[in-house]
Amino acid sequence: MRQPDAGARGFRADGGGASGIPGPRHADDDEKESRPRLPPGQYIQATMPVLHYGPVPACNLQTWDLRVYGATGGGVHRWTWPDFSALPRCEIITDFHCVTKFTVLGVTWSGVPAKEILRAVPPAPAATHVMIWAEFGYGANLPIGVLGAADTLLATHRDGRELSPEQGYPVRLIVPSRYGWKNVKWVRAIEYLTRDKRGFWEERGYHNNGDPWREQRYSYQEQPGEGPDL
């Protein structure tokens, strides 16, 4: 993952006034309610660089599908593009925090709430985590409760426009409570897991949880119980 453009404009979180930045906060619990909007170590910039590992995949919506499998308690479920497009939709306005330390405020995303996937394909009682799989075998892990959070979204549009191929067309995950690498582009499958398993970057030195407000950037910061053995 490369660094953001060197010329990006921004200011540091310790520059004063970070907790008073106007805009949406999506506070679902007491912890979110009390924390500052800008996570520690982050700076604000106006635009979001295009960051991803590997090439941009081609997409044919006639053959595209989204699969849910693993510890479902009911086998594999598959949505075609028309099926997925018919699911309930919503819009969120949220901030995007990259582990490379930039934050973009107030990005508008629309798509299918991830909780709708959990409702349509309930996980087995033993399921604790998910792996979000993308094209070319890229994956990122999350606790199943994070996937089901009110502001976790399988996005198809950003700022009122259909995602571009570089932004993750046709579907990318948006997880406001985690650093950007957990916001998987080009999503193709969700695997329910009965134990945690590291994804692509989590196996390559990034923190297993990736919570920006705890500044969980790298695996060497992990405390006992915060991730499977490397």
**What's the whole-number mean pLDDT along residues 55-82?**
95
Q: What is the CA radius of gyration of the chain?
A: 17
CATH number of the domain within which 197 lies = 3.90.420.10
Q: Count of H helices and E strands in the chain?
A: 4, 11
- Structure-block tokens of residue 88: 């309930």
Number of domains observed in the structure of the chain: 1
Predicted pLDDT at 74: 86
Would residue 26 count as lying in a domain? no
Would residue 127 count as lying in a domain? yes
Would residue 228 count as lying in a domain? no
Cα distance between residue 53 and residue 180, in whole Å: 12
Cα distance between residue 192 and residue 189, in whole Å: 10
Predicted pLDDT at 52: 77
Would residue 229 count as lying in a domain? no
**What's the whole-number mean pLDDT along residues 49-75?**
91
**What's the whole-number mean pLDDT along residues 183-208?**
97
Cα distance between residue 120 and residue 209, in whole Å: 26
Cα distance between residue 213 and residue 208, in whole Å: 14
Rounded to two decimals, what is the model's pTM? 0.86
Of residues 3 and 105, more confidently modeled: 105
Give the contacts of 139 (CB within 8 A, at least 6 positions apart). 131, 132, 133, 184, 199, 200
Would residue 19 count as lying in a domain? no
Would residue 62 count as lying in a domain? yes
**How do residues 154-167 score in pLDDT, each as one tens digit?**
999 999 999 999 99
**What's the whole-number mean pLDDT along residues 20-44?**
69
**What's the whole-number mean pLDDT along residues 6-22?**
35
Peptide bond into 170 cis (omega under 30): yes
Would residue 182 count as lying in a domain? yes
Would residue 166 count as lying in a domain? yes
- Structure-block tokens of residue 157: 């549009």
What residue type is assigned to position 138 of the chain? Y
Domain range enclosing 149: 57-91+109-221
Predicted pLDDT at 17: 37
What residue type is assigned to position 213 of the chain? W
Q: What are phi and psi of 120, to 5 degrees?
A: -75, -35
Cα distance between residue 191 and residue 130, in whole Å: 5
Predicted pLDDT at 23: 42
Q: What are phi and psi of 172, to 5 degrees?
A: -135, 155
**Between the CA atoms of 161, 166, 168 and 174, what dihedral angle is there, to the nearest 10 degrees?**
-80
Local structure of residue 130 (DSSP, 8 states): E
Q: What are phi and psi of 63, to 5 degrees?
A: -115, -10
